[in-house]
C-alpha cells in the first residue's frame, strides 16, 4: 500500500521543534560556542579553536575525576544490582506485607536529593550523628571529613540506601510477571533453587534488569547533589566526581571555555556508553529469539 504523502503534516511537528530548540538545542549551542572561544566577560569572544578540548583531554585533573567517577559507578552497579535482585527475591509476593514492603521500598526514592545528602551528612558526623557518634563510641576511627576511605564508604552507603530500592522494585515487577506454573514445573523437574533462579527468574527479569543497569549507570555517572552536600568533593579531591569538578571549574573558577569543552566531552561519553548498552541489549534479544 502506498503511503499518502502530505507535507503539510510537517507543520504539526513544528511546536515540538520550537520547544526542543529553546530547551535543548540553543543552550547546547551556547555551550559549543563557549567551548571554542575564550572570553573575559562583556560578551567579548576570542577564537580559541580546539585548544580547550586539547587542554581538557590532557588535563590530569580531569583524568583524576574521570577515574574516580568510573570507579564510583562500577562499585555502585556491583553492589546495587545484586542487592536489588536479592531483596526482590525475598519480598513477599502477596498480602498485606507485600504492600507494606512496596511502600517501604519506595520511601527513599521520594526524598529530594539534597535532603538525602543532608540526612547522611548529619548521620555520619562524629559529634552529633547517630552513625558517626556510635562508631566513635565503639572505638572505631571514623571521620568522613578527613579520611578519603571513610568519605567513599559514606557516599557509597548513601547511594546504596537511596537507589537500591529502584533496582529491587524493577526486579520485583519482573518477578511478579512469572506465572505460577513455572515454579510448579521446576518442582516437578526437581530443579535446585539456583536452577530456578538461573533458568526461570533471571531470564524473565532480564528486560527490567537491563533498564535498571542503564538507569543506575547514567544516574551514578552524573551524580552531583548528594556527594556535594556530604563531602563537597573532599577531603582534598578524593570524592570530586565529574559533575562536581565541572561546577567548580565553571562557577568557582569561572573558566567557561574549558568547562564548556569538558561538558561536551562529558555528554558525549554518557551518550556513547548508553548507546553501547542499548546496542548490546537489542542484539542480545535478537540473538536469543533466533
Please identify, using beta-carbon distances, which residue of 6 and 192 lies nearer to another protein. 192
Please identify, using beta-carbon distances, which residue of 8 and 290 lies nearer to another protein. 290
CA dihedral 13, 18, 24, 29 (to 10 degrees): 120
Least distance in angstroms from the C-beta of 102 to another protein: 24
List contacts with another protein (CB under 8 A).
Answer: 179, 181-182, 184-185, 187-192, 195, 199-200, 203, 288-290
Please identify, using beta-carbon distances, which residue of 63 and 187 lies nearer to another protein. 187
Least distance in angstroms from the C-beta of 186 to another protein: 8
Please identify, using beta-carbon distances, which residue of 54 and 285 lies nearer to another protein. 285
Least distance in angstroms from the C-beta of 88 to another protein: 19
Please identify, using beta-carbon distances, which residue of 58 and 193 lies nearer to another protein. 193
Least distance in angstroms from the C-beta of 123 to another protein: 42
Least distance in angstroms from the C-beta of 175 to another protein: 15
Least distance in angstroms from the C-beta of 185 to another protein: 4
Please identify, using beta-carbon distances, which residue of 54 and 189 lies nearer to another protein. 189
Amino acid at each position: 500500500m502506498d503511503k499518502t504523502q502530505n507535507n503539510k503534516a510537517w507543520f504539526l511537528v513544528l511546536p515540538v521543534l520550537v520547544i526542543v530548540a529553546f530547551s535543548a538545542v540553543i543552550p547546547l549551542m551556547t555551550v559549543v560556542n563557549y567551548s571554542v572561544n575564550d572570553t573575559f566577560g562583556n560578551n567579548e569572544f576570542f577564537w580559541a579553536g580546539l585548544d580547550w578540548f586539547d587542554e581538557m583531554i590532557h588535563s590530569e585533573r580531569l583524568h583524576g575525576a574521570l577515574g574516580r567517577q568510573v570507579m564510583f559507578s562500577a562499585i555502585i552497579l556491583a553492589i546495587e544490582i545484586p542487592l536489588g535482585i536479592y531483596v526482590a527475591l525475598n519480598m513477599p509476593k502477596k498480602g498485606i506485607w507485600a504492600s507494606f514492603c512496596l511502600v517501604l521500598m519506595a520511601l527513599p526514592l521520594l526524598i529530594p536529593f539534597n535532603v538525602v545528602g543532608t540526612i547522611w551528612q548529619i548521620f555520619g558526623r562524629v559529634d552529633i550523628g547517630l552513625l558517626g557518634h556510635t562508631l566513635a563510641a565503639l572505638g572505631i576511627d571514623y571521620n568522613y571529613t578527613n579520611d578519603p576511605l571513610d568519605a567513599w564508604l559514606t557516599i557509597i552507603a548513601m547511594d546504596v540506601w537511596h537507589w537500591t530500592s529502584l533496582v529491587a522494585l524493577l526486579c520485583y515487577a519482573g518477578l511478579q510477571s512469572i506465572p505460577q506454573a513455572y515454579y510448579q514445573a521446576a518442582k516437578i523437574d526437581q530443579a535446585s533453587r539456583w536452577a530456578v533462579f538461573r533458568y526461570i527468574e533471571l531470564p524473565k527479569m532480564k528486560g527490567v534488569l537491563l533498564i535498571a543497569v542503564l538507569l543506575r549507570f547514567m544516574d551514578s555517572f552524573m551524580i552531583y547533589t548528594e556527594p556535594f552536600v556530604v563531602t563537597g568533593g573532599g577531603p582534598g579531591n578524593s570524592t570530586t566526581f565529574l559533575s562536581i569538578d565541572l561546577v567548580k571549574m565553571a562557577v568557582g573558577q569561572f573558566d567557561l571555555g574549558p568547562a564548556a569543552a569538558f561538558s561536551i566531552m562529558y555528554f558525549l561519553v554518557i551518550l556513547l556508553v548508553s548507546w553501547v548498552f542499548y546496542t548490546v541489549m537489542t542484539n542480545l534479544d535478537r540473538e536469543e529469539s533466533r
